[in-house]
Amino acid sequence: MGEKTRTIATIVGARPQFIKAAPVSRALAGTFHEVMIHTGQHYDYGMSEVFFEEMEMRPPDFNLGIGGGSHAEQTGKMLIEIEEVLDSLKPDYVLVYGDTNSTLAGALAAAKAQIPLAHVEAGLRSYNRTMPEEINRVLTDHVSTLLFCPTDRAVQNLLKEGITNGVHRVGDVMYDALLHNLALARKHSHILRSLGVKKGEYALATVHRAANTDDHARLTSILEALGSLSKPVIFPVHPRTRKIIGEMGLAVSQNVKLIEPLGAFDVLVLQENADCILTDSGGMQKEAYLLGVRCITLREETEWVETVEAGWNRLAGVDKNAIRAAFENWHPSGERPALYGDGQAAGEICEILARQLR
Ligand code: UD1
């Protein structure tokens, strides 16, 4: 049977997954029939559709419309709906990304239906089981047939859990995405002008992790720290964070400019030109590193330990003094080794899948 007759069912649902899936879909296009299933976990135009447009991806073949709700409710509904789609499609492989509830639902549905499962961004660990993402990653890795690791550390993490079969260190598809999107972003984005900011003269902040948004004291501390920095802070606000800031009636300093979530191009341009990125996002820690921008991580631990070890990422937690001290006094300038591969991860993933299905 020709490979083109083989079907890969890709499951995505949350913002970073659209960005990661784009380079892989481009790579798969010549070889496989890919069917894209969007769970609907992210549903606002600015959290979902804009990425499909910018990445020039065709709209998902299925949109399950399952956004909001508790973790169990969301994951459970996804599991039921994904099973139905997989039943009708009978794909040769299921492909999932990262560590969201959509990842776990896709992984479980595939495993239960005995369809081989490939996990992109396998082997990441924060070793903090209070994070929903950590549970999602661990469980997904343990039912995966192919585990595509972005880093050497990820391979070692899997080894510690006894997972060695099907493990491939392919590099990080986010690097592939960044290389592809940066040139387009520089051409198309006018965000610096529209916000009235210049290179190196502002900080960029994002906060969306449950541990930071759902805890009044932590979110207050972060907002106070951002408000005390010596440069203006641009803060594109995730819907969950905006809701909670409103509900809790938290004060936001004039120094902090809250804006709507941005598309991939605007975010890249804002990242590339920022003096510093302050974030609890995993993807932005890596993008900061790849772009040579210092990153202050608003968490106590990270899955992307290499960025810290290389000296370009500081774990400041939510302590106001630690955040402020890092921002005002710490200016890394050392080497940035190629931790995330060579930007060809998507092609390697496609080749490995093709070998498996030959
Ligand atoms: C999810 C992932 C997280 C990932 C993040 C990327 C889980 C457990 N977490 O977190 O790992 O880093 O996506 O952004 O899967 N909402 C809207 N509009 C939207 C999307 C969300 O209003 O387009 C609201 C939801 O209704 C919900 C809240 O934001 O109340 C949180 O959304 P949810 O998808 O549950 O988790 P994220 O915080 O986005």
Ligand 1 is surrounded, with C-beta below 6 A, by 14-16, 41-44, 47, 67-68, 99-101, 132-133, 208, 239-240
Ligand 1 atom at shortest distance from the alpha carbon of 283: 12
Q: Which domains does the chain have, with CATH numbers?
A: 6-172+341-357 (3.40.50.2000), 187-329 (3.40.50.2000)
CA of 184 to the centre of ligand 1 (A): 27
Q: How many CA atoms lie within 13 A of 87 on its CB side?
A: 7
Catalytic residues: 208
CA of 240 to the centre of ligand 1 (A): 7
One digit per residue, the tens of pLDDT, for the chain of length 358 reads 556 789 999 999 999 999 999 999 999 999 999 999 999 999 999 999 999 999 999 999 999 999 999 999 999 999 999 999 999 999 999 999 999 999 999 999 999 999 999 999 999 999 999 999 999 999 999 999 999 999 999 999 999 999 999 999 999 999 999 999 999 999 999 999 999 999 999 999 999 999 999 999 999 999 999 999 999 999 999 999 999 999 999 999 999 999 999 999 999 999 999 999 999 999 999 999 999 999 999 999 999 999 999 999 999 999 999 999 999 999 999 999 999 999 999 999 999 999 999 8
Q: Which residues contact 234 (CB under 8 A, 6 or more apart)?
A: 195, 197, 202, 203, 204, 205, 257, 259, 270, 274
DSSP state of 46: G
Q: How many CA atoms lie within 13 A of 39 on its CB side?
A: 33
Pocket test for ligand 1, best of 128, 240, 245, 267 (most atoms within 8 A of CB): 240
Protein residue whose Cα sits closest to atom 13 of ligand 1: 14
N-to-C CA span, the chain:
8
